[in-house]
Amino acid sequence: MATVADVVAHLDAFAPPATAADWDNVGLILGDSKTELTRILTCLTVTPEVVAEAVEGKVELIVAHHPVLFKPVKKLTAATADGKLLLPLLRRGIAVYSPHTAFDNCAGGINEGLAARLGLLNVRPLRPDKPAAAFKLVAFVPAGDLARVSDALFAAGAGAIGAYRECSFRTDGTGTFFGTDAANPTVGIKGRREEVLESRIEVVVPEASLSGAVAALRAAHSYEEPAFDVYPLRSLGGATTGAGRVGDLPIEIRLVHLGETLQRALNSKGMQVIGSRGLPVRRVAVACGAAGEYLADAIRAKADVFVTGELRFHDGLAAQAAGISVLLPGHYATERPGVEDLAVRLQAAFPTLHVSASATERDPFGVLA
């Protein structure tokens, strides 16, 4: 039977917690990873209504986009707001997991879902991640050391390329050296030139692992002075990861028509807009939730319109001054579809479980008829 740990492993692989914002609180926040599962509930936010739904539905795991216990708490009692909310879950052993900003921006995450619902083409990150610095480590190793050195390098974090690990390239050749009187050679004798059959091994190493990989190479190599080279690598092409998304509509349309498409796609009951209804738009930037911080990125990407959930007043003025249109369908509307998509994903990954999106949570903001 699947456990909380199994679902956590799946979610961590889909939306790696390491990619979440440094201020965020993601991962398994409440509960026991060993708990066996029969039912999972996804939601945007853990509210009293969602808690009651989970308890009544005999759910063992809630996957909530927004984290619970977002700020440090000193007490968790029935007299505190957090206690009132979470004690019923604790009593029944219901776990809570949150992917939050990792889910916003991962492949197949909320922002990619928004771009897909709008039919955008050539979709790419709105704020691309800065490529991590990497190096090529090339070492020259006698045949008897090759397996030991390879294992040591891989264990130190070398040789990872995309979804693959323990990647290397090896060629055979002849190495020469002349040991001086101060040398203590492992092979041959000092005072004359030696020729040794060696292998050249090449591995890619991220900057953070470079010093450890060099130390591992020295420790595993039998030579007194191992020969190796380190080459900095330059990233080519655009980043494929990052925050938000930007893409192009198949054809140029009017802002009002894009707004109508967005309302239908998100089942939004209201829409705030900055810009003239008749303005032509083609390039669209999207960032779910409260994402005013990405307005400058949208302008830099030369987007005609920026789609986000909500925006501060002065950010709205900044958009107006920059000449970029903005569509604001609401925080809930931009993120709730992602929660529903996540339920479908988890159901496919764990077909023996019952997975559903919350039927009780609602947008706290309504509109006057």
Model pLDDT for residues 188-230, shown as the tens digit of each residue: 788 889 888 999 999 999 998 999 999 999 999 999 899 999 9
Q: Check whether residue 201 and residue 260 sit in a common domain.
A: no
pLDDT value at residue 161 = 83
Model pLDDT for residues 99-126, shown as the tens digit of each residue: 999 999 999 999 999 999 999 999 999 9
Residue 103: name the closest of 68, 63, 72 by CA: 63
| Domain boundary pick from 233, 251, 286 | 233
pLDDT value at residue 239 = 61
How many angstroms separate the CA atoms of 311 and 304, rounded? 17
pLDDT-derived band at 185, boundaries 50, 70, 90: confident
Model pLDDT for residues 262-309, shown as the tens digit of each residue: 999 999 888 999 999 999 999 999 999 999 999 999 999 999 999 999
**Above pLDDT 70, what percent of the chain?**
98
Q: Check whether residue 140 and residue 89 sit in a common domain.
A: no
Residue 41 included in any domain? yes
Residue 47 included in any domain? yes
How many angstroms separate the CA atoms of 283 and 287, rounded? 14
Higher confidence at residue 186 or residue 95?
A: 95
pLDDT value at residue 118 = 96
Q: What's the domain range around 208?
A: 134-233
How many angstroms separate the CA atoms of 209 and 60, rounded? 39
Q: Check whether residue 262 and residue 117 sit in a common domain.
A: yes
Whether 39 has a pLDDT exceeding 90, the answer reads yes
Structure tokens at 205: 């190493």
Q: Check whether residue 119 and residue 268 sit in a common domain.
A: yes
Q: How confident is the model over 42-51, as a mean pLDDT?
A: 97
| Domain boundary pick from 233, 266, 298 | 233
**Above pLDDT 90, what percent of the chain?**
80
Q: How confident is the model over 178-192, as a mean pLDDT?
A: 83
Q: Check whether residue 89 and residue 179 sit in a common domain.
A: no
pLDDT value at residue 369 = 66
CATH of the domain at 194: 3.30.70.120
Q: How confident is the model over 313-330, as a mean pLDDT?
A: 96
pLDDT value at residue 264 = 94
CATH of the domain at 28: 3.40.1390.30
Q: Check whether residue 158 and residue 283 sit in a common domain.
A: no
Q: pTM above 0.85?
A: no
Q: Check whether residue 218 and residue 277 sit in a common domain.
A: no
Instruction: Name the 3-class secondary structure at 77.
Output: coil
Q: Check whether residue 172 and residue 299 sit in a common domain.
A: no
Q: Check whether residue 320 and residue 351 sit in a common domain.
A: no
pLDDT value at residue 189 = 82
299 with 321: CB under 8 angstroms? no
Q: Check whether residue 200 and residue 271 sit in a common domain.
A: no
Q: Residue by residue, what is the 3-state secondary structure of 123-180?
A: EEEEEECCCCCEEEEEEEEEHHHHHHHHHHHHHCCCCCECCECCCCEEEEEEEEEECC
What is the number of structural domains in the chain?
3
Residue 363 included in any domain? no
| Domain boundary pick from 233, 268, 284 | 233
